[in-house]
Amino acid sequence: MPRSPETIDLLLTRRSAKALTMVEPGPDAGELETILRAGARVPDHGKLAPWRFIIFRGEARAAFGAELARLFASAEPRATEDQITFEAGRFMRAPVVVAVISRMMPGIKIPEWEQTLSVGAVCQNMLVAATALGFGAQWLTEWYAYSEEVNRVLGLGENERVAGYLYFGSESVPKDERPRPDLSEITSEWSPK
């Protein structure tokens, strides 16, 4: 197999963009399909595909934001108008948002832990693919990723939960680098005793 220094460079320099600073354009239909296909091309013991995608773009973002604002206001009776307005605009922060849904299949020979790891790999592949296509990308799990009421609005079934909301758009500001762990502090080499 040929070497790909560009891929290694991308993996070593990839950094999440902030959804708050994303602007148009976002991925078009073909680019989004590429991102989703990259997401689905992960290790998947048993070929279960323990994930699915819900796409938010165009007016669907504002409509879902209205649901978030309603649910937030109901859960937080002392919420200010500014807070409720912020919740309504959450999905307007980026041109495209994809909810990655984990759908566990309990009681089979493939451990749920392996299914969960596969879903995490889906999210990471999608972030890398979006970055390779020149877009900013961020994986968020804020309060609405854990809300049973939001899950009902999404139509999630039994054994389904949000693994994350992935935001995609063009970057309007440079990304900040953050400290990374020193490999010597997190790496060891096993040897027989």
Q: Is the pLDDT of residue 174 over 90?
A: no
1 falls within a domain: no
Query: Rounded to an integer, what distance in angstroms lies between the CA atom of residue 42 and that of residue 126?
Result: 10
Q: Residue 154: give the domain boundaries.
A: 17-57+93-173
Residue whose token pair is 């919420």: 79
Ranking 15-19, 65-69, 137-141, 143-147 by mean pLDDT, the lowest is 15-19
pLDDT tier for residue 104 given thresholds of 50, 70 and 90: very high
pTM: 0.93
Per-residue pLDDT band at 24 (split at 50, 70, 90): very high
Judged on CB neighbours under 10 Å (0-12, 13-18, 19+), 187 is: exposed
Residue 177's pLDDT is: 83
> Could you give the percent of the chain with pLDDT greater than 70?
100
| Residue 116: inside a domain | yes
Q: Provide the pLDDT for residue 76.
A: 94
Domain count, the chain: 1
37 vs 30, 33, 48, 123, 155, CA distance in Å?
10, 6, 15, 11, 23
Tell me, what DSSP letter sits at residue 57? E
Cβ contact 132:10 at 8 Å:
yes
Residue 21 confidence class, pLDDT cut points 50, 70, 90: very high
In a domain, 108, yes or no: yes
Residue 117 pLDDT: 96
The pLDDT assigned to 161 comes to: 97
Residue 108 burial (CB count, 10 A): 11
> pLDDT value at position 179?
86
CATH of the domain at 34: 3.40.109.10
Structure token digits, residue 101: 């849904």
Residue 80: inside a domain: no
- Tens of pLDDT, residue by residue over 58-98, are 999 999 999 999 999 999 999 999 999 999 999 999 999 99
Q: Is 102 inside a domain boundary?
A: yes
Residue 193 has pLDDT above 90, yes or no: no
- Per-residue burial over 7-24, b = 16 or more CB atoms within 10 Å of its CB, e = otherwise: eeeeeeeeebbbbebbee
